[in-house]
A and B are shown apart, each in its own frame.
Chain A
Amino acid sequence: MTLKKFVYLLAFGILALAAMPVMASVQTGHAAPDFTGTDVNGETIKLSDYKGQKVILEWTNHQCPFVVKHYDSGNMQKTQKAATDQGVVWLTITSSAEGKQGYTTPAEAKAIMEETGSHATTRILDPSGEIGHMYGAKTTPHMYIIDEDGTLVYQGAIDSNSSPRQSAIAGAKNYVLAALDELNAGHPVTDATTAPYGCAVKY
C-alpha cells in the first residue's frame, strides 16, 4: 500500500487504541444504555430484561467509608426495601478491579449481602469496569434510577449530605426515595441530577 494509506491506517489505529478506556456519561432524560452483566449467582443479567419495570443501580464498595455509613446505619437497606416493595428492581453493582479495594468473589459478595441484610434484587460483579464506564459511575455509592421506558430519570448521590458521619443521614434528603415518590405521583423528578459523593470507584 502507499505510504499515505499506511500513515492514515496507523493514525486510525493509534486513535482507536487511545480511545479505549473511555468514561462515558449518560444525560438524565436520555435512554439508559443496555448492559449485560453476571450476578453473584452466575446468572446473566441484562438491563433490557427489566423493561416495563423501574430499575435502580447502586454502585458499591463494601470497604468504602461512605458505603459503610449507609449500610451500618441501615439506611441503604431501608431504601432498597422501600423500592423493591414497590416492584422496583434494585441492582447493586461492584466495579472494583481485581486486587483493588471492594473487589469480591461471588461467594464473598453473597456473604456481604446476607450479613448486611441487603434487600437488593441481586448484585452484579463488574470487575472489568465495563458497566461502570458505560454509566460514568464515579463514586461509591453512586445511584441511577431508570424508569419503565428505559429512560434515565435520576443520577447522583443517595442523599444530600456528603459527610462520612452516620449522624448526617437523619437531616439529609434521600434523593432516591424522593424521586420514587415523585415518579409515582406522575411528576417529573425535581432533583434529577445531583453531585454523587463517596470514594472513587476502584477501576
Chain B
Amino acid sequence: MVFAPHSMAQEKAQEPEQYVKVRLLSERSAVGPGQDIWIGIEQSIHPGWHTYWRNPGDSGSAPRVDWTLPDDWKISDIHWPAPEKIPYDPLLNYGYSGNVILLQKLTTPPIMKGGPVTLTADFEVLVCKEICIPEFGTYTLTLNDPENMNENNEAYLASAREKLPVPSTVSAVFSERDGTLEVRLSEWPEDIAAETLELFPLEWGLIENTAPLQTRMDNGALILSQDRADRPLNDIKQTDFVITGKGADGNRHAYQITASAEGTPAPGTESSPLPALLGALFFALLGGMILNLMPCVFPVLSLKALSLSKNANKKDQTPARRSGLAYTAGVVLSFLAIAGILIALKAAGAQIGWGFQLQNPVVVSLLAYLLFIIGLNLSGLFEISGHFGNVGNKLTQGTDITASFFSGVLATIVATPCTAPFMAAALGYALTQPAYISLLIFAVLGLGLALPYLALSYTPSLGKMLPKPGKWMETFRQLLAFPMFASAAWLVWVVSQQTGSMGMLGVLMGLVLIAFAFWLIQHQPKDSNRKILVLVLAALTFLTAFALLPKDTVAVKQQHEISFGEPFSHAALNEYLQGDDPVFVEMTAAWCITCKANHKIAIDIPQTRQIFAEKNVKYLVGDWTNQDPNITEYLNTFDRNGVPLYVYYGPRDDVTKKRPQPNVLPQLLTPGIVKDRIK
C-alpha cells in the first residue's frame, strides 16, 4: 500500500503536521524474478523549507533510509539528484526544495516467491527553514499485489532520473594551491556557461561552502578553484564532485566526476596488475640494460668496453674498476637530475610525462645536433685536442675518473630518445609516485644502463674475452658513427613531424653548418691572425646553426599516418562510451618507435582492420608528439606517463547494460594479441 499523501488544501489553514510529505513509488507494481526496478522516495517539501543532499554543507543532516526487504532482495544506495545551494548567512547548505525524488534500484533474486511482497522503509529526514525539524516515518510499498496492479510511475521516475548527475569519464585531479582547492578537468563541454558553474563536493570539509567558485581554462582543461576548509587532504586519494552549469539550451546540466589527488594513480581500471615498487624497479633495471642495445647508446658502450680490453691484462685492475664506478656515478646522477627536473616541473603544474623532452622541437633538434657531432667525431672528421680532450679518444682509451664520469652523463643524454618498451610501465608508475620513489626508480634505471660496463670493469676475464686492440679499432670506431647518424636522422624526421618541412630544413641546414664549423676548426691555419679569423668564422657558423633551431610547433596532424581511425578527444571517447559499441584507444607519438612498430605490425593490417569492421569497433588515435595535456591526463588514468598505450573498452552487455572494465593491452603487440583481446 502506497502511503497516501495529504492534500495541500489542508495546510493553508494551519501549520502542517509534517513539513515533508513522503511517498514511496515504484516504476510498476508487478515485478518478476531477476529484475531491476526503480524505486523513488518522493519528498514534497513545504514551501520555504528545505531538506538536505548527501553532503548537507555547513549544517543540517542528510536523510537516511533503512529498508526491510525479503530475503535475497537487494537495493542500491541512494542516487541523489543534483542539489541546490541554500545560503543561510554566514553559512551555506546543499539540498532541495519543492519536490525531490531520491532514487534507488531494487533487484529481485533469481528465484522468487509468488504473491504480494511488502517492502518497508524507515525514513528519517531533517527539514529546515529557520529552525530544523527532524521527521521520522515508516512507509511501505507492496508489489505484485493482485488488487493493485495498475501503478505505473515509469515516466515519472524516468523524468526524475534526468535530474541525476550524469557520470562523466573526464579525468580529473584535485590539489591544494594557495589556500584553495583546485579541481582540474581535462575536458569540459563548451556550451556550459562558465559563470553558471557550481561545485558540490560529496565529501565534507574540502571547501568553504560559502566561498565563490573561480573558473579558468588552461589549454582545453577546465580548472575550478574554491577556498579550502579545514579538513586535511592528505588521507584523501580520490573523491567525487557534482558539477552543475547552464547549457546552451537554458537548462541546468549536472555531472559527477571522480577526481584523484595530484600525484596518485587515478581510479585503477587496468586489467593488467599495477607494478608494485619491486616490479617497477625490476623493469627499470631491465629497461636500463636493454637501452645499451639501442643505436644511440651502443656506440658509447662498445667503445668504453673496448677501452677496458686494453687494460685487461694489466695486474692492477683498480683504474678499470674506478672507471666503472665513475661511469656508473655519471649515469645514475644524470638520471636523478632528469628525474629531479621532471618532478620539479610536475610540482609547478606542468602536464608532462616521459618523453616530454621530445615534445619540444628545440630539444629534439639539439639532441639531433649532439648525436650528429658525436658521429662526426667517431668518423674522424675532427678530433678535439687540448683542454676539452678528445671525445673519441677518451671513449676508446680513457679510463680516468673524470672522463668516465662524463661519458656516463653523455650516455644518459643520448639514451633519452631511445625509450625501450619496458621503460614505459616503470616510468609511468614512477612519475605518479611521491618524489622519493620516482627518484629511486630513475636511479635504478641508470644503474641498469651502467651495469654492463660496470660488470666489465670488475671482471677482467670478460675483458680478456674481448678482441685485442689493434688497427681494426679505428675502423670499428668509424663504423659506430653510422648508428649515431641514423639516430640523428630519425630525430630530424621527428622535428619534421612537429614543425613541418620548413622546420626540418632549418635543422638540416644546421647540421651542415655544424659539420662545416668542425671542418674549419680542424683545418685552422697555423698563422695566428688567420687562425683567429677562422675560429671566429667557426663560432659564427655554430651560432647560426643554433639560430636555425625551429621553435614553433605546427599542427601537422594531417600529415600523420592515421591510416584509419579518428583523432582522440575526450568528447569523442565519452560519446562512444555512452553507446554500445566497443572502443579501441591508441596513444602514440611520432618519436616513439615502439608505437610505430606496433601500429605497422599489429594494427594497420588487413586482419585487424577486418575485425574492427566486423565488430564495429570505434578506433581513436591520440597523437602525443607535441604537448597535449588531455592525452597526458588520459595516460595518467592508466598509471602511465609515456606512450604507447592501448586500451580496449568491450561492448556493452545486453543483459547487464554495463561495459566490462577497460582492458589495457601489452606494450608490444602482435596481431594475435589484438585479435584475442577483441573477442
A contact residues vs B (CB 8 Å cutoff): 21-23, 25-28, 63-66, 100-101, 133, 136, 138-139, 155, 162-165, 193, 195-203
Q: Which residues of B contact A201 (CB under 8 A)?
A: 59, 91
New A-B pairs, 14, CB < 8 Å, besides A63-B131, A199-B60, A200-B93: A65-B133, A66-B132, A139-B58, A162-B62, A163-B64, A163-B124, A165-B124, A193-B232, A199-B132, A200-B58, A200-B91, A200-B128, A203-B89, A203-B90
Q: Which 9 A-B pairs have the closest CB atoms?
A: A164-B134, A200-B59, A195-B204, A139-B59, A138-B58, A199-B132, A23-B90, A162-B61, A101-B131
With a 10 A CB-CB cut-off, give which of B61, B133, B136, B230 has the most chain A CB atoms: B230
Query: Judging by beta carbons under 8 Å apart, are B59 and A101 in contact?
Result: no
B230 to chain A, nearest CB (A): 6
The binding surface of chain B is classed by DSSP as: loop
A and B contact pairs by CB, cutoff 8 A, 12 listed: A25-B230, A64-B131, A66-B61, A136-B230, A138-B59, A163-B124, A164-B61, A164-B126, A165-B124, A197-B60, A199-B132, A201-B59
Question: A162 to B63, alpha carbons, bound, how many Å?
Answer: 10
With a 10 A CB-CB cut-off, give which of A28, A139, A165, A199 has the most chain B CB atoms: A199
A137 to chain B, nearest CB (A): 10
Query: Judging by beta carbons under 8 Å apart, are A100 and B130 in contact?
Result: yes
B contact residues vs A (CB 8 Å cutoff): 56, 58-62, 64, 88-91, 93, 124, 126, 128, 130-134, 136, 204-205, 208, 210, 229-232
Question: A162 to B124, alpha carbons, bound, how many Å?
Answer: 11
Query: Judging by beta carbons under 8 Å apart, are A21 and B90 in contact?
Result: yes
Q: Which residues of A contact B133 (CB under 8 A)?
A: 65
Question: A195 to B229, alpha carbons, bound, how many Å?
Answer: 11
Known A193-B231, A193-B232; contact A200-B205, beta-carbon cutoff 8 A = no
Partner of B130, one of A26, A27, A101, A197: A101
Question: A155 to B205, alpha carbons, bound, how many Å?
Answer: 12
Query: Judging by beta carbons under 8 Å apart, are A200 and B64 in contact?
Result: no
Question: A1 to B567, alpha carbons, bound, how many Å?
Answer: 63
Query: Judging by beta carbons under 8 Å apart, are A23 and B210 in contact?
Result: yes
Known A23-B210, A25-B229, A28-B230; contact A202-B61, beta-carbon cutoff 8 A = no
Question: A164 to B59, alpha carbons, bound, how many Å?
Answer: 13
B231 to chain A, nearest CB (A): 5
Question: A163 to B88, alpha carbons, bound, how many Å?
Answer: 21
Question: A164 to B63, alpha carbons, bound, how many Å?
Answer: 10
Chain B residue, CB-CB nearest to A165: B124
A176 to chain B, nearest CB (A): 17
Chain B residue, CB-CB nearest to A133: B90
Known A139-B58, A162-B61, A197-B61; contact A155-B90, beta-carbon cutoff 8 A = no
Question: A126 to B33, alpha carbons, bound, how many Å?
Answer: 61
Chain B residue, CB-CB nearest to A155: B230
Chain A residue, CB-CB nearest to B136: A165
Chain A residue, CB-CB nearest to B133: A65
Q: Which residues of A contact B64 (CB under 8 A)?
A: 163
Query: Judging by beta carbons under 8 Å apart, are B124 and A193 in contact?
Result: no
Chain A residue, CB-CB nearest to B229: A25
